[in-house]
Amino acid sequence: MSEHEVVHQPERQRFVVTADGADAFVEYRMLAPEVIDFVHTYTPAQLRGRGLAGELVAYAVNYARQQGWRVIGSCSYVAAWLEKHPVGS
């Protein structure tokens, strides 16, 4: 699914990809035991244009859905990604 290794860091409430010594990540908050809200996506300038944000969001959303959680995208990038990739597509 992902070209890069995505690491879930639940203690920091984020999913991370490290490339060329820099971290790209998507942060989340658990609003309830089964409701996850992705609140921020960050890709450093030197990693932009490689599709890392899309890989991260795809991995994180897939992880959440596998847990049976409802997914909310407060982050504009995640919200746009969810619109383009509805459940079951």
The domain locations on the chain are: 7-84
Contacts of 2 (CB under 8 A, 6+ apart): 17, 55, 58, 59
Residue whose entry in the numeric block shows the structure tokens 């990809």: 17
pLDDT of amino acid 1: 46
What is the pTM assigned to this prediction? 0.91
Radius of gyration of the chain (CA): 12
pLDDT at 68 over 80: yes
Structure tokens at 32: 């309830």
Tens of pLDDT along 25-67?
999 999 999 999 999 999 999 999 999 999 999 999 999 999 9
Structure tokens at 30: 């658990």
Does residue 60 contact residue 26 with C-beta atoms inside 8 Å? Answer: yes
Residue whose entry in the numeric block shows the structure tokens 């890069």: 4
Provide CATH code, domain 7-84.
Answer: 3.40.630.30
DSSP state of 7: E
With cut-offs at 50, 70 and 90, classify the pLDDT of residue 80: very high
